[in-house]
A and B are shown apart, each in its own frame.
Chain A
Amino acid sequence: MRLKLFGNGLISALALAASIGIAEAKTDIIVAMQLEPPHLDPTSAAAGAIDSVLYSNVFEGLTRFGPDGSVNPGLAKSWTISEDGKTYTFNLHDGVKFHDGTDMTAEDVKFSLDRARGDDSANAQKALFAGIESVEVIDPVTVKVTLSEANSNFLFNMAWGDAVIVAPETIADIKTNPVGTGAFKFSDWVQGDKIDLEKNPDYWGTPAQLDNVTFKFISDPTAAFAAVMAEDVNAFVGFPAPENLPQFEADPRFQVLVGSTEGETILAMNNKLEPFDNIKVREAVAHAIDRQAIIDGAMFGYGTPIGTHFAPHNPDYVDLTGLSQYDPERSKALLAEAGFPDGFETTLKLPPPSYARRGGEIIASQLRAVGIETEITNLEWAQWLEQVFRGKDYGLTIVSHTEPMDIGIYARPDYYFQYDNPAFQELFAAITSENDPEKRSELLKQAEEMIAKDYVNAYLFQLAFPTVADARIKGLWKNQPTQATDLTAVVWED
């Protein structure tokens, strides 16, 4: 009798355990990344880490980027554009609430846009808002934005993390307590360690599947490897040690996603400095570079060669790598033609990321092979910004331009590589005001070709974005159309 009772108890206990196992899928996740946000206000800093944590999770804009880089409706469910392309009327979703319980209305949209473009604005991408002439509240769910001239990029610009909608009463504390409208709300930040988010039960759209999200910050590549291997973290986005990826690929516990980014990595040349003011010299530099050797040597094979300043995954991309094929003989001939038969000496200034430091060594030796001697200087970011970017005191530098759709920097003659070509500036103005997608695409392709044929910079490769995650996690973004770790669709599967 006792034995039987025991047997029954055991069976029911087993049944209970089994049912728990089925019913309770994991609803929390620990996601690691390398850099910690300096603070939590995406509208007043350039730090991509802020968007990596908050974009789309906590904060939303009128429009939002999809995983493929497309611009989709966000807080605005629809919009109409006037004939002349200058007036955008946004229809907002009804019943959207901020995480503090207040309603998100057209007033908040007006406040956010006016704050970003105001005189004392500290918005790192203030140029996105430069064309806005006025923002008018029509009714609580309708807002009208008038531009000074047509701008085909406007909806794209409004999808940036710097253009998210914030509530006026939360601005004072936004840097430590961000209040947005997203599917997750901010709960805790242990500085130097982690940020916790929790599910927003009152979300206006499709609710998140996860209840709790922890972002952990692990800057050291070796520590990153150990944390994933020991399963201290469930996913590592932007995994910093590409040399370890094959090991994770071979391990059934993990999945490895290698996505693309908006990061065009270039060997920038100071176009106003001798001898780089001579197009033949720039062309010679371009032909001296063996892209695949750099990708293999510096990035362990991860990265896509590019021939112009445009993301290869973009439908408007033209493959122009043929214009600057690796050809040291041609390079030497061009140098001789330009009056440097014995080569010349210049500086190569390298910011901290490994693509620059490791890539720089390889490029220096490739340039030496055609007679160009480089003096390498390693700089911290703050020094790089001061000396190279603002001071324009450099010959060559390596940097990845991670902003999406940033070919417009070639229309700014005072930009650090100092490319001053009126034809390009006109072309870019035409692109900006062109609202017809087909014509715009055509013009963009012309622009890509123009800078490639002018050999403004040597175009190296598109930065890859590796993510290592537990094999059971579904719904992570593979690509980085903007810096984001959108977890709204992430779910654990068995």
Chain B
Amino acid sequence: MLQYFLKRLLSLGLSLVAASVVIFLALEVVPGDPAAYMLGVNAQEDTLNALREQLGLNGTILQRYLSWAGGLLVGDFGTSYTYRTPVSELIGERLWVSLPLALYALTLSTLIAFPAGIWAASRRGSYADAGVMGVTQLGVAIPNFWFAMLMVLVFAINLRWFSAGGFPGWEDGFFAGMKALTLPAIALALPQASILTRVMRSSLLDTLGEDFIRSARAKGLTRGQAMWRHALRNALIPVLTIMGLQFSFLLAGAIIIENVFFLPGLGRLVFQAISSRDLIVVESVVMLLVFAVIVVNFAVDLAYALVDPRLRRRR
């Protein structure tokens, strides 16, 4: 188990270094000068130079990479070009929206997908199964931003149950915050839940066809008992993989939903930073997301080992 753990940890470290180089170089070649963007069309050459000097944009690529990457190691993300506040503060504030939103959406999607997937698998071929498959097909096909707009139309504009968007901040209380995140979380969860339901169902069906289930049935377990005691745990591996991928996606991929509900989350921060060439913010947020993806994958790898003891012994 320890060897498995260490090997995973080493690959985690190497992935991070490689990612930081790629991210930095990719953004270096993006055309557009942050100083020119900030000062606009009437800026004079000397003013632009003064600002570039202030922003530390006049060094060589290597110098700038090292100062950025070196800062990251000690938790210093640098200072945003446009906002002029530490990037770590900006990210910190946004995480308080994005992280709860991602968790909320993932929870919803799991709460829907697990029962639905198990129910469909245990009634394979029935109308219930066909119904679940049909609904999830629709869930995968509907674009989530369109669904989000529809919900705003119904619940915010017509029924007035929710506000059309925005986030009051957690200082207004837990429930006010959760209420503001509810519609966005549903919009995000719907396609994820549909995918997860289908994965859960097919994975469970695969496992139910295995020899050890037949043995379990042969020794006298009912179909339900065999499923709950033996099949479910074995069917979880692909489900966990998908959930890991979904969490990273929810954290980073909520840009459109954040725009529809004007939430001050990470996605919108990156979106604004890219158009204003606030490269240091883009680099740091992307790096953070890479870090999150890699760590989530690491956690998923460990979870495999817990679910499936055979993996612990594998070289």
Contact = CB atoms under 8 A, between A and B. Distances in A.
A385 B262 contact: no
Contacts of A389: 36, 41
B169 A218 contact: no
B269 A192 contact: yes
B165 A227 contact: yes
Interface residues of A, number: 45
Interface in B32-75: 32-34, 36-44, 46-47, 50-51, 54
Interface in A20-62: 36, 38-39, 45-47
Given A39-B82, A191-B90, A385 B36 contact: yes
Given A46-B40, A381-B37, A382-B31, A223 B165 contact: yes
A387 B31 CA distance: 9
Interface string A206-233: 0000000000111110110011011010
B275 A380 contact: yes
Interface string B259-296: 11110110011001011110000000000000000000
B149 A382 contact: no
A121 interface: yes
A387 B33 CA distance: 11
A232 B166 contact: yes
Interface in B82-141: 82-85, 90, 93-94
B32 A192 contact: no
B36 A227 contact: no
A124 B42 CA distance: 6
A193 B264 contact: yes
A38 B276 contact: yes
Given A220-B259, A385-B41, A192 B94 contact: yes
A405 to B, nearest CB: 12
A125 interface: yes
A226 B165 CA distance: 8
B152 interface: yes
Nearest to B169: A190
A161 B92 CA distance: 32
Given A220-B262, A230-B164, A176 B44 contact: no
A222 B260 contact: yes
B40 A124 contact: yes
A45 B39 contact: yes
Contact of B166 (A36, A121, A175, A193): A193
Contacts of B43: 46, 124, 126
Contacts of B44: 126-127
A38 B160 CA distance: 32
Contact of B85 (A36, A121, A176): A176
A223 B33 contact: no
Report, as a range, how many residues of chain B touch the other chain.
35 or more
A223 B145 CA distance: 11
A108 B167 CA distance: 39
Interface string A181-211: 0000000001111100000000000000000
A45 B36 contact: no
B157 interface: yes
B305 interface: no
Nearest to B156: A230
A391 B7 CA distance: 51
Nearest to B90: A191
Interface string A227-242: 1011010000000000
Contacts of B157: 226, 229-230
B24 to A, nearest CB: 18
Contact of A382 (B37, B85, B163): B37
B19 interface: no
Most buried by B among A36, A125, A127, A382: A382
B153 interface: yes
Contacts of B36: 382, 385-386, 389-390
A314 interface: no
A119 interface: yes
B262 A227 contact: yes
Contacts of A47: 38, 40
A83 interface: no
A46 B32 contact: no
Interface string B166-196: 1101000000000000000000000000000
B156 A38 contact: no
Contacts of A123: 47
B17 to A, nearest CB: 29
Contacts of B272: 36, 192
B278 to A, nearest CB: 8
A296 to B, nearest CB: 26
B269 to A, nearest CB: 6
Contacts of A39: 82-84
Contacts of B264: 190-193
A386 B31 contact: yes
Contacts of B32: 380, 382-383, 385-386
B39 to A, nearest CB: 4
A378 to B, nearest CB: 13
Contacts of A223: 152, 164-165, 259-262
A352 B93 CA distance: 28
A114 interface: no
Interface of B: 31-34, 36-44, 46-47, 50-51, 54, 82-85, 90, 93-94, 149, 152-153, 156-157, 160, 163-167, 169, 259-262, 264-265, 268-269, 272, 274-277
> What are the 3 A-B residue pairs with the smallest beta carbon separation, nearest first?
A46-B40, A382-B32, A192-B264
15 contacts: A36-B272, A121-B50, A126-B43, A126-B46, A190-B93, A190-B169, A192-B269, A216-B262, A217-B262, A223-B152, A223-B165, A223-B262, A230-B164, A380-B274, A390-B36
Given A38-B38, A39-B84, 5 more contacts: A222-B149, A226-B153, A227-B165, A385-B40, A386-B31
